[in-house]
Structures are given as C-alpha cells and as structure tokens.
Amino acid sequence: MAKRVPFLDSDIEAKQVFYSPASPGFAPKLPSGTPAPERASWFCTDAESANSEMPRKIEVTDFNRTMKGFLPMEVGKKFAVFAIVLALCALAAGVYTGWNRPIAAAEVDFIGVRGEKFALSSLKGKVVLVNFWATSCTVCVGEMPKMVQTYEKYRDQGLETVAVAMAYDPPDRVFAYAQQNKLPFRVTLDIFGKAMQAFGGVRGTPTTFLVDRRGMIVQRFEGEPDFGRLGALIERELAKG
C-alpha cells in the first residue's frame, strides 16, 4: 500500500507524494480517480533517508517546481563539484586555446647561462620567439636545430629568440648543451619558475610563444611547432614593422 512521504528542508510544495518498495517497473501509486500529473524523479542517496522502508527511487507528482532544496544533500554536493570541475575545464580550455588572440605578456626578467640579466620589455620593437625546453626532453633537443635555422633566417629582419631552460634542468647541463651546440640566441635559466608563470604556465616541453613587436603574445605552440606555419607567422609579424 502506498504511503505518503514527508519532505523536510525543501521548498517543494507537494500535493501528492507517494512511494512504493523499489522493484523492477516501479511506478507510484496514486489515489483512485487521480489524473496522471506531470512527474519528476530522482534517486535518493542521503543516508538519513535510505532506511529499510524507503525506496531508492522517489516519484513526486503535482508540485510547484521551485528548485531550491530539490536535490538531496549528497546529490547536491556531487552536482556542485561537477559544476566546479566543468567550469575549471572550460577556463583551462579558454586559456590554452585563447592564445590565438593577442595577450599582453607579463613583465619578466631573464637570467642567461652566463649570469647576464635582461627584461622581456627590453626586447619590445622586435618579434620574439620564447621557447621553454629542457636538455632531458628529446622533442626539445630534436627541434633545436630547426629553432636555430629559424632564428638565423629572420634575425636580420628583427627576430629575437630566447630559449628558457626549465627550473628542473641543471644549469651546468644547460650551459654545456648551449656551448657544444653553439646556440646563436639567448639561453636562459628559469631557476625559480618565474618566467614560466609569467607566460601563464607551461604544461610540458617544448612550449613556444610568439611575441609581437608590442610585447603581445600572438601564438602559443605546445610540442614541436609546424615550422612552415611558424615561419609564416613570424613573417607576418615582421612585416607589420
């Protein structure tokens, strides 16, 4: 026999609320002659409500849909967590795909492998390629000759390249690699991770940023870039004068 279910801590104004023991093909039992109203259902996961008589599925009929307090506590918490995770994912997607629009690069001071210091702002007026890499990264080492070729091709037109070694890369190893491979551009150490933070974080290496003459980030590349496309972008920015 159907029993009336009381609702506590809820703004739902229920006129006909019934439950039956959980079973296949469960359906609420309504008083004789009652028309079938619009229904809504959910699964109860609240420990206080899940006793031996209370079914897992509850059907609520003929009520004003005031959603405040509608979800059981546990379901509400799960929904809130899901919403937060979804929002963070959307934010992350926006951050990592939004570099196609110019974004002002934060001010950062670089420290070269020989101890020299210079600010990113000192390079305004040039197109700058900022490459985050590590000597332990095989993809980074594999793309480095192409970085050198790109720099040598465009440096007379106003391209500057800054190779930023990650904080975990031993400085002596970075220095040795730069010397042995005769890297023609600036090689710096991000000992405290400040350069990485200034560029919005780096999820992995290599990660390369193209900065225009105004100091705006116009493109971000994760992994080895398509150097044909990179060259076209560099030429476009150089042509702006």
Average pLDDT estimate for 175-200: 96
Per-residue burial over 42-60, b = 16 or more CB atoms within 10 Å of its CB, e = otherwise: eebeeeeeeeeebbeebbb
Q: Going by CATH, does the domain composed of 98-239 fall within 3.40.30.10? A: yes
Q: pLDDT band for position 186 (50/70/90)?
A: very high
CA distance 198 to 204: 15
Name the strand (E) or helix (H) holding 154. helix 138-154
Residue (of 237, 231, 233, 226) closest to 143 by Cα position: 226
Q: Is the pTM of this model over 0.75?
A: no
Q: pLDDT band for position 105 (50/70/90)?
A: confident
pLDDT in tens, 15-57: 343 333 443 444 444 455 655 444 433 333 333 333 434 433 3
Residue 88 tokens read as 């963070």
3-state secondary structure 170-236: CHHHHHHHHHHCCCCCEEEECCCCHHHHHCCCCCCCCEEEEECCCCEEEEEEECCCCHHHHHHHHHH
Domain residue spans in the chain? 1-81, 98-239
Q: What is the pLDDT of residue 215?
A: 95
Contact (Cβ atoms closer than 8 angstroms) between residue 5 and residue 44: no
Residue (of 194, 192, 218) closest to 232 by Cα position: 218
Q: What is the pLDDT of residue 180?
A: 97
Q: pLDDT band for position 100 (50/70/90)?
A: low
Q: What is the pLDDT of residue 83?
A: 67
Q: pLDDT band for position 109 (50/70/90)?
A: very high
